[in-house]
Amino acid sequence: MKNILMIATGGTIASMNTDAGLLPKLSSKELLESVPEIGQICNVTQIQPFNLDSTNIYSAHWLEIARIVEENYRKYDGFVVTHGTDTMAYTAAALSYLIQDSPKPVVLTGSQKSVSLRDTDARRNLLDAFTYCADEDACGVRVVFDGSVILGTRAKKTRTRSYNAFSSVDFPETAVLRDGKVVWYLKEEKPQAPRFYHALENSIFVLKMIPGLSADIFDYLSEHCEGLILETFGSGGIPGYDGEAFCARLTEFLKKGKTVVVTTQVEREGSALSNYEVGRKLLRCGKVLEARSMTLEAAVAKLMWCLAQTKDQSRVESLFYKPVERDII
């Protein structure tokens, strides 16, 4: 039987009702005990570095999870990370950059309802996550949820209540779990050896455009961030009102050596800046990167990963555009 390390981090899956609202309270041991069938699939050791609602999880926790995986890499055949669903897609994306080319699986799962409730999806998701993790052909960072196996760079939470909370955006699910078995749709060739990274740049900002947004926001951004993700409308572009103030301020921002990644607020199919005048104008403001088909979560994590390695614009550009786990197509 395979040996799997379960890394429990909190989330609804481990939550109990309290006077203050739902709070992660259950230990990793209690979680495991709720699905005794897992013992027939693999040997599990558990560790619980923290027990948080995933709203509280950020880069320090991603680095901590990656460190636990790295330190235990030789000892185990795979890793299951239980996690809140709210920011699971960010954690999955971040782990995809921090742990690259892993021949062993790192599987994230959680649930929409606490494992303590009768109609919970936690038991199924846990069992599926361990079943997938114990599969001979599993590798890389994946989200297993509601029977779907999704690349860590392609997962997005698209429903707040339903059991099928996650979608695989602009890329197919690589497998599904049916009747306790993994049914493969896309079998990856296993990489040889993992590469671990140990740093992320935190001063990243996502600016979601709204109609009429003032370019004065750059007063703040220039002072406080190294990397900006500009979530524009549709195929992408910037407004020309206020005497082209947006373009002027963006140009200034870029001249300070900051990195700008342009993406779209539309969930699927990515940006295409050269389609419209508003997009071409943005391209003339200076050297910006395009997230193309990347999810916002992957773009955020990748920019944090790139800028932790270098602030040199051309190196950032080549790192950003180099595909990692089908993140950019």
Q: Which residues are catalytic?
A: 12
Among 112, 174, 263, 264, which residue sits at the site for ligand ASP (rule: CB under 6 A)? 112
Where does this chain touch ligand ASP (CB under 6 A) — which range of 37-45, 80-88, 124-132, 225-233?
80-88
Q: Return the number of the residue (165 or 273) whose C-beta is nearest ligand ASP.
A: 165
Taking residues 171 to 200 in sequence order and writing x for each that binds ligand ASP by CB under 6 A, - otherwise, the string is ------------------------------
Q: What torsion, rounded to 10 degrees, do the Cα atoms 270, 271, 276, 281 define?
A: 170
The answer to whether residue 86 forms part of the interface with ligand ASP (CB under 6 A) is: yes
3-state secondary structure of 301: helix
Q: Is residue 148 a contact point for ligand ASP (CB under 6 A)? A: no
d(CA 104, CA 313): 33
Min dist CB 51 to ligand ASP, Å, is: 10
Q: How many CB atoms lie within 10 A of CB 247?
A: 18
Q: Which is nearer to ligand ASP, 112 or 131 (CB)?
A: 112
Distance (Å, rounded) from C-alpha 202 to C-alpha 225? 9
Q: Give the three-state DSSP class for 327.
A: coil
Which residue type occupies 125?
N
Min separation Cβ 203 and ligand ASP, Å:
24
Q: 90 vs 320, which CB is nearer to ligand ASP?
A: 90
Instruction: Compute the C-alpha angle 6/12/13, nearest 5°.
Output: 40
Residue 175 phi, psi dihedral angles, 5° rounding: -160, 165
Interaxial angle between packed helices 241-255 and 277-284, expressed in degrees from 0 to 180 and rounded to the nearest 10: 40
Residue facing ligand ASP at closest CB distance: 84
Number of chain positions touching ligand ASP (CB under 6 A): 11
Task: Kindly state the smallest distance separating residue 130's Cβ from ligand ASP, in Å.
Answer: 18
Residue for token pair 């027990």: 51
Q: Which two tokens stand for residue 302?
A: 């990748």
Q: By CB under 6 A, which span of 51-59, 134-142, 229-237, 282-290 interacts with ligand ASP?
A: 51-59
| Binding stretches for ligand ASP (CB under 6 A) | 10-12, 53-55, 84-86, 110, 112
